[in-house]
Amino acid sequence: MNLAILSTYPPRECGIASFAKDLRDNLTMWGQDVKILAITDNETPYSYPQEVAFELHEEKKDDFISAAEFINAAFMDAVLLEHEYGIFGGCDGSYVLDFVAHLKKPFILNTHTVLSQPTVSQKSILMKLGRKAAAVICMTRRSAELLYEVYRIPLNKIYVVPHGVPVFRKKPRERLKEAYGVAGRPVITTFGFIGPGKGIELGIRAVAILKEKYPNIVYWVVGETHPKLKMREGEVYRESLEELVDSLKLHDNVRFANKFLSFEELGDFLYMTDVYLTPYPGRHQAVSGTLSYAIGCGRAIVSTPYDYSLEMLANGRGLVASDADSGELARLIDMVLGDPLLKSQLEKKAANLGKSMTWPQVAKSYVEIIEEILQPNYRRSAVKDV
């Protein structure tokens, strides 16, 4: 099939961009021809790879109409629309509605954020997109429920496909610790774009509690400040975290790797990790790509409770706190560090789930969905897990 993906795209640094690149690369492995409609935030064009067939600026409404007209004129079977409110221009990303209003080809809506309590504007946008889409993909059963109950998207349009994870090359933990200067030390890691709402302060306070029992514990906070936040506010949040580290005297225990990681570097940090921590304070996060990656690497995971962690870490695949509380996070991390058998069991269960979430398998599911919706007289009666 000839497909297009509307999304941000590398070298733009964005979680959705990384997702789109992985999806595109793995769809091509299954024989699909995939072009990219790349959403830019920069007046100076990014140096995009050759698969980018069209560039549109997020704040230029007419660009979304032009992108739709480009697809209409092209030999294209369908479009995959990666939806996240923050990547499209207009109030709550409303400019994407101009794209679908002018699009004459079928599109699949891929939902990266499904809010349980959206604003009137957010709800209206997702409802309109869902109404026009040939199919709607989400990444958890909980998101599927919300799409139906809150956004009134018909059950027969909804597919549940897990967030893809790369096929990482497994590396020996202790050798990596030696290479990164933390040999023999228990390592806790959180990675991803840094900004308010990520709960890094909860992780730091948990480490302050754990330091009494594990004086050589290391907490890696890996990732740069989100580019949009950095443009707007600078490094205010990161500086507040550094001040917290100073006040708690954790200079030897908390380390910041302030950079956008390559795939190889990310594998290093994950495979040296004893406990992967997602300390997000918000309860309604539908998806976490970083948690998915940790599952894919078979890490022992401790998390605050939010929609994605509660579903993915159920049945003993990880430990989830009852609240976003640093004391409880410390207690759960201590359980893992103090019990090698528990740690091994958590790693094994996470790895088993991770095998079903690898990008080649996930991309195959996308191909099957697209083939299904393009069939004449296509009909389905219920949500489908693939």
For residue 384, what pLDDT is reported?
Answer: 66
Residue ranges in the chain modelled with pLDDT below 50: none
For residue 5, what pLDDT is reported?
Answer: 98
Asked if 186 and 139 sit in the same domain, the reply is no
CA atoms in the 13 A half-sphere facing the CB of 335: 16
Locus of tokens 């506010």? 233
Asked if 253 and 113 sit in the same domain, the reply is no
CATH number, position 326 = 3.40.50.2000
For residue 380, what pLDDT is reported?
Answer: 59
DSSP class per residue in 212-279: TT-TT-EEEEESPBPHHHHHHHTTHHHHHHHHHHHHTT-TTTEEEE-SPPPHHHHHHHHHT-SEEEE-
Asked if 40 and 160 sit in the same domain, the reply is yes
pLDDT, the chain, mean: 93
Angle ∠(239,92,382) on CA atoms, nearest 5: 115
- Whether the model pTM is above 0.85: yes
Asked if 112 and 180 sit in the same domain, the reply is no
Asked if 109 and 156 sit in the same domain, the reply is yes
Nearest to 280 by CA among 309, 300, 238, 247: 309
State how many domains the chain has: 2
* Helices within the chain (DSSP H only): 15-29, 61-73, 96-102, 120-132, 141-149, 173-179, 200-210, 227-233, 236-247, 263-271, 289-296, 307-312, 326-337, 340-355, 359-373
For residue 128, what pLDDT is reported?
Answer: 97
Asked if 313 and 215 sit in the same domain, the reply is yes
Kindly tell me the sign of the dihedral angle through the C-alpha atoms of 170, 174, 180, 184: positive
- The whole domain housing 198 covers 173-355
Asked if 209 and 115 sit in the same domain, the reply is no
Asked if 368 and 304 sit in the same domain, the reply is no
For residue 234, what pLDDT is reported?
Answer: 85
For residue 56, what pLDDT is reported?
Answer: 95
Asked if 373 and 316 sit in the same domain, the reply is no
For residue 54, what pLDDT is reported?
Answer: 97
